Amino acid sequence: MQLDQPVKPLVRLSGVWKRFGKLEVLRGIDLDVNEGATVAIIGPSGSGKSTLVRCLNHLEPIQDGAIEIDGFLITPRGVEKSGRLLGQREVAKFRTLLGMVFQQFNLFPHLTVLGNIIEAPTGVLGRDRAAVTEEAMDLLAKVNLADKANVYPARLSGGQQQRAAIVRSLIMHPKIMLFDEPTSALDPELIGEVLKVIGELAIKGRTSIIVTHELAFARDIASKIVFMDAGLIVEEGPPDKLLTSPKLDRTRAFIARIL
Amino acid sequence: MSFGRFYRLIADNADVIGFGIWVTIQLAIVSMMIAVILGLIACLGSLSRARILRFPSMLFVEFGRNTPILVQLIWVHFAWPEILGIKFSAWTSAVIALSLQSSGYLAEEFRAGIESIDKGQIEASQALGMTYQRLMRRIVVPQALMRMIPGILNQFVTCFKSTSIVSVIAVPDLMYQAGLIVSMTFLPMPVYSFVAFLYFVMVMVIALGVRFATRRLPQFGYFNQRHGGE
Ligand SMILES: Nc1ncnc2c1ncn2[C@@H]1O[C@H](COP(=O)(O)OP(=O)(O)OP(=O)(O)O)[C@@H](O)[C@H]1O
Ligand SMILES: [Mg+2]
């Protein structure tokens, strides 16, 4: 897949700190994510995984350090491009660079599945409605939801909702995909169908960052696994190495607990 | 009073009563339509981060909720013309006072509705590149409005009942028309009894309609959450 392409980081975090009041949630995070790579983040509850992901699209401001994403720079001041601080509208536009999939799906309950999917491409990007609808139906077919286009989310199973939510992100053609425990809210028998869509559709050829407790899945898809604990990246490496022979006891204990 | 005489009394004055009913219904509907819009504006204002919007909006809401309707009515009708230098008809004053009151209550309900929307909805919208204005308009407010349908309908019932107060500034609503008939016939007992009965029937019908509509809501897609699923 990544034969002779020049590898350069599309996302680079340097010394990122995040505090909620006195609580230090990220305590100097350094991380590179190469173009086309898939980074899986694992770690115990409360270690700051969600917060890290939310800092990447500036849902959370940071207090120190910097995040470079495809020519944009996130600092404690906000989002900058070429040294200029972006306004509210431009930050919103910047966010379309990244797609985000949530643990709780967060589909819009007052819109049908199709309505959910075409809302942002037509409204935010101003793309042609007919063309977007066609693309949406195409994607829905790929995730086996073609017959649910005109159904409200409340009528869908968790697995179906999450697949629809993934399509809603993908239709924005994001350069980077973020997943925050996309299968943690699902009944065990529904996890497989969602992981399949993530592996075969969502992250194909796209830079991705995924927080997950599905270690077998992480091993299959990740180019790098990052283990976080107490606001720090304490260990990172290729999946086989990190999962089978971790350097630190903490990492080993965590992996043993999940497996 | 025999039934025959009572019947004749009502029949003779049917047009006067009918006109009163029509005015009452119009007042309630027009005031509520204005109140829904004003309430929404006041609510968004009081949620705004800009103090210059927030403070007046909150004052408006609290004033609407915390002054008696009779006081508002008299104040609007007799004080506003002097303050603003414009003369209103009694009907206009009545609509203003009724909207003022209802919009205060509705604004509070809207706010509760908006604040009840899950944070995840806002984050998902932001992640899709929506600005604050767009996500309010397209995602948050529509959901809040749906949740508020029962609240709006209940406020309509309250507003309908409140309309009877406008007779004190000579708006020819049902109550005022009843007074007219009494002053011509000197028969307060049958006239006011009949009017009380009319209000009772009208409010009852509306309230039942509201209850029916509220109970039907869960059958629409959006409300299916609690019952739907897998
Ligand atoms: N908005 C917030 N305000 C205050 N504290 C917060 C906020 N968001 C997160 N935190 C705190 O930050 C810490 C890290 O939270 P975070 O959600 O990033 O952890 P996590 O690694 O994703 O955990 P989990 O595996 O349970 O999802 C927690 O202690 C949490 O309580
Ligand atoms: Mg989390």
pLDDT of residue B221: 54
- For residues A128-136, give the mean pLDDT: 98
- For residues B1-8, give the mean pLDDT: 87
- For residues A120-143, give the mean pLDDT: 97
Under the banding of pLDDT at 50, 70 and 90, the label for residue B223 is low
Cα–Cα distance between A144 and A162 in angstroms, integer? 12
Which chain A residues are closer than 8 Å to B139 by Cβ?
A: 108, 110
Residue A3 has pLDDT above 70, yes or no: no
Pairing of strands A84-85, A78-81: antiparallel
Pairing of strands A64-69, A224-229: unpaired
Residue with CA nearest ligand 1 atom 25? A45
Ligand 1 center to A236 CA (angstroms): 21
Residue A6 has pLDDT above 90, yes or no: no
Q: What is the count of structural domains for chain B? A: 1
DSSP single-letter state for residue B165: G
Residue B193 has pLDDT above 70, yes or no: yes
Atom in ligand 1 nearest the alpha carbon of residue A228: 21
Distance from the B126 Cα atom to the nearest Cα atom in chain A, whole angstroms:
7
Residue A94 has pLDDT above 70, yes or no: yes
Residue A215 has pLDDT above 80, yes or no: yes
Range of the domain at B101: 3-227
Helix boundaries (H) for A103-221: 113-123, 129-142, 158-170, 188-197, 215-221
Residue B229 has pLDDT above 50, yes or no: no
- What part of B 104-133 touches A (C-beta under 8 Å)? 118, 120-121, 123-132
Which chain B residues are closer than 8 Å to A158 by Cβ?
A: 230
Ligand 2 center to B50 CA (angstroms): 32
Ligand 1 center to A11 CA (angstroms): 22
Cα–Cα distance between A156 and A151 in angstroms, integer? 8
Note whether A152 contacts B139, CB cutoff 8 Å.
no
Closest chain A CA to residue B227: A154
Note whether A96 contacts B224, CB cutoff 8 Å.
no
By the 8 A CB rule, do A202 and A177 touch? yes
Of A99, A98, A107, the residue nearest A163 (C-alpha): A107
Closest chain B CA to residue A190: B230
- For residues A113-125, give the mean pLDDT: 97
Cα–Cα distance between A43 and A40 in angstroms, integer? 10
* Complex ipTM value: 0.94
Q: Residue B165 burial (CB < 10 Å; 0-12/13-18/19+)?
A: buried
Ligand 1, residues A17, A47, A232: which to mutate, most atoms within 8 A of Cβ? A47
Q: What is the pLDDT of residues B76-101, one digit of tens each?
A: 999 999 999 988 899 999 999 999 99
Q: Take residue B196 and report the two structure tokens written for it.
A: 């009380």
Q: What is the mean pLDDT of chain A?
A: 95
Q: What is the pLDDT of residues B160-186, one digit of tens each?
A: 999 999 999 999 999 999 999 999 999
pLDDT of residue B49: 84
Question: How would you list the strands of the sheet with A176-180, edge to edge?
Answer: A98-101, A176-180, A207-211, A38-42, A224-229, A232-237
Which chain B residues are closer than 8 Å to A172 by Cβ?
A: 128-129
Instruction: Provide the residue count of chain A.
Output: 259
Of B177, B170, B189, B148, the residue nearest B35 (C-alpha): B148
**Distances in whole angstroms, Cα of residue B89 to Cα of each of B72, B102, B171:** 15, 20, 9
Q: Take residue A185 and report the two structure tokens written for it.
A: 């809210």
Ligand 1 center to A46 CA (angstroms): 5
Note whether B126 contacts A157, CB cutoff 8 Å.
no
pLDDT of residue B145: 85
CATH number, domain of B46, equals: 1.10.3720.10
pLDDT of residue B226: 41
Distance from the A120 Cα atom to the nearest Cα atom in chain B, whole angstroms:
6
Q: What is the pLDDT of residues B105-128, one digit of tens each?
A: 999 999 998 998 999 999 999 999
Under the banding of pLDDT at 50, 70 and 90, the label for residue A15 is very high
Distance from the B103 Cα atom to the nearest Cα atom in chain A, whole angstroms:
25
Spell out which residues line ligand 1, taking CB within 6 angstroms.
A 20, 23, 25, 43, 45-51
Of residues A57, A155, A158, nearest to B127 (C-beta): A57
Percent of chain A with pLDDT over 70: 97
Q: What is the pLDDT of residues B41-52, one digit of tens each?
A: 999 999 888 889
Cα–Cα distance between A9 and A32 in angstroms, integer? 6
By the 8 A CB rule, do A56 and B126 touch? no
Residue B227 has pLDDT above 50, yes or no: no
The secondary element (H helix, E strand) that includes residue A41 is strand A38-42
Print burial letters for B47-61: b (CB count within 10 Å at least 16), e (below 16): beeeeebeeebeebb
pLDDT of residue B146: 83
Cα–Cα distance between A163 and A196 in angstroms, integer? 10
Q: What is the mean pLDDT of chain B?
A: 90
pLDDT of residue B219: 56
Ligand 2 center to B198 CA (angstroms): 59
Closest chain A CA to residue B224: A154
∠A194-A107-B46 over CA atoms, to 5°?
Answer: 150
pLDDT of residue A73: 97
Note whether B130 contacts A169, CB cutoff 8 Å.
no
Percent of chain B with pLDDT over 90: 73
